[in-house]
Chains A and B, each alone.
Chain A
Amino acid sequence: MNDVLLDVRVVHKRYAGATVLRDIHLRLQRGERVSLLGPSGCGKSTLLRIAAGLERQFDGELQRASPDQASVAFVFQEPRLMPWLTVAQNIGFADGAACDRQRVDILIAEVGLDGFAEALPKRLSGGMAQRAAIARALYGRPALLLLDEPFSAVDAFTRMKLQDLLLDLAQRHHIALLLVTHDVDEALYLGDRVLVMENRPSRIRHSLGVDLSQPRDRRDPRLAALKAEALTALHEAHVI
């Protein structure tokens, strides 16, 4: 398993006696992009937090290619920027005052925040703040980026731009993605594989391969066909 980045087995995950996850096995190769769909409350965020090492209390095991915390980065649903730090300081947050200013400047340019390096988060729009959060996640040169509904709070056009930005950055830095979303189009557009979870106790019900090369065209009829397939799978998993 030389090229396996992440291998999570969850036998059981309980919160206060209620089983949230059961018998889940998730594996990610280097550079692979996986989307995760499922009903609200089925445990997608929990699974992601387990993969990130934020949640340690579960039956099962977590294996990562590198035990180094910096090899995995997380983008939350909200930007979660430190309000007392400037954009540049937030992006280099992992290293504090000793941060690599040159790398920060490159990342700022890459996510299109030029001119906002010294701005405080309160001056950013929702989409800009989320871009800063993505730059912060990339700062540590992660091999795997975990994203929990990262674009759900921005408008449809900004979302498309952010998706393209994410794909571009993932490609350029050769980063694997594990993305939780409620948006079927987003799941298909970004993922090499789309996993569909069912509810209570949650397992992975379907795995849908998306054999389309990147970059993809949002108008591609094959994406539309896959969407029909995904909707059927969601229906079977009682998501819709």
Chain B
Amino acid sequence: MSADSRAWPTGRRRAILQGAWRTLGPRLKGLVLPVTLLATLEVAARLGWVPAYQMPAPSEVLLTLGELADGPLWKHIGASLARVALGFAIGAGLALVFAVWVGLSREAERYLEPTFAALRAIPSLAWVPLLLLWLGIDERSKVVLIAIGAFFPVYLNGVAAIRGIDRKLVEVGHLYGFGALRLTRRILLPAALPGLFTGLRSGLALAWMFLVAAELIAATRGLGYLLSDGRETSRPDLVLAAIVVLALLGKLSDGLLAGLERRCLGWRDTLGEQQGEVRS
């Protein structure tokens, strides 16, 4: 093939283009649907098929986003990020501690598991009025709500991950006479790490969800506030701009965790670890 392409420059150029298409093509395929949708919306809004007070043109939203970026956007992003970070850290941290405890000790499970099961049965948003009554409408109630939201996915996945650890690997630790602490650090934690990451990532997603809930109800800053402000002032462009920013932040924070996961879990011998070799 190389001899061919040297003899035929045009054929070679085509080969390069084909190669580029082979690597870029699959990615571009994912863009087909959203680009078509956005173009249709743009045209529909420009031609007045949909009323502008309900659905602004995508370019309109982009302009609003630009305006916000020159002004209060960063303040809102900062407020929301701080709440999510704090709430997630508290919720996920507590969840990890309890997951390790319940996962390792039958006794702890007997004491704690029924309570957690009962608490889990409560839809977490039902806590909102109580939190407002107890903690007021300031930062504390929001952070606590986010922590509650992040807690259960991390806890559940953590317990399942620890229970699912291969007993045969644990036995190797027993063979070396490892105590509880060394066993946990050297075998249990690394073996449970894949499941823990799954929990952390779904916990983070829920943290963002509960952030919006908390800020929709009572806030003077934050992306959720931007959402409700847009509704009250009948500005769908503002609402859509906030949604876009939330999506970007959610994706970005999940991407951070995913990157960390890839770095920590490169040892896994799974289908997902050899992308492109088997799945194509």
Contacts and interface: CB of A to CB of B under 8 A. Distances in A.
B177 interface: yes
Given A122-B267, A122-B269, A82 B187 contact: yes
Contacts of A94: 176
B268 A80 contact: no
Contacts of A54: 171, 174-175
Nearest to B166: A80
A149 interface: no
A83 B267 CA distance: 6
A200 to B, nearest CB: 25
Interface in B145-186: 168-169, 171-172, 174-177, 186
B169 A80 contact: yes
B185 to A, nearest CB: 9
Contact of B168 (A73, A80, A120): A80
Contact of A52 (B168, B175, B191, B268): B175
A78 B266 CA distance: 22
A74 B175 contact: yes
Contacts of B269: 83, 121-122
A76 B168 contact: yes
Interface string B257-280: 000000001111100000000000
Contact of A83 (B174, B176, B177, B268): B268
Interface string A42-56: 000000000010100
Contacts of A80: 168-169, 171-172
B19 interface: no
Nearest to A137: B175
Nearest to B177: A69
Contacts of A122: 267-269
A173 to B, nearest CB: 18
B53 to A, nearest CB: 56
Contacts of B266: 120
Contacts of B193: 84
A115 interface: no
A84 B172 CA distance: 14
A140 B265 CA distance: 28
A120 B175 contact: no
A96 B266 CA distance: 20
Contacts of B169: 80, 82
Contacts of A78: 168
Nearest to B171: A54
- Identify the interface centre among B171, B193, B265, B266: most chain A CB within 10 Å of its CB: B171
Contacts of A52: 175
A178 B244 CA distance: 66
B190 interface: yes
Contacts of B267: 83-85, 120-122
A151 interface: no
Given A82-B190, A83-B267, A93 B172 contact: yes
A8 to B, nearest CB: 17
A138 to B, nearest CB: 14
A54 B177 CA distance: 10
A84 B186 CA distance: 10
A74 B171 CA distance: 10
Nearest to B190: A84
Nearest to A52: B175
B119 to A, nearest CB: 33
A32 to B, nearest CB: 21
B183 to A, nearest CB: 12
Nearest to A78: B168
A121 B169 CA distance: 14
B158 to A, nearest CB: 18
Contacts of B172: 80, 82, 93
A51 B177 CA distance: 14
Contacts of A76: 168, 171
Nearest to B266: A120
Interface in B167-219: 168-169, 171-172, 174-177, 186-187, 190-191, 193
Interface of B: 168-169, 171-172, 174-177, 186-187, 190-191, 193, 265-269
The 9 A-B residue pairs with the shortest CB-CB distance, nearest first, are: A122-B269, A69-B177, A84-B267, A84-B190, A94-B176, A120-B267, A83-B267, A80-B168, A74-B175
Given A54-B174, A82-B169, A93-B172, 5 more contacts: A54-B171, A76-B171, A80-B169, A83-B267, A121-B269
7 contacts: A80-B168, A82-B169, A93-B176, A93-B186, A121-B267, A122-B269, A140-B176
Interface of A: 52, 54, 69-70, 73-74, 76, 78, 80, 82-85, 93-94, 96, 120-122, 140
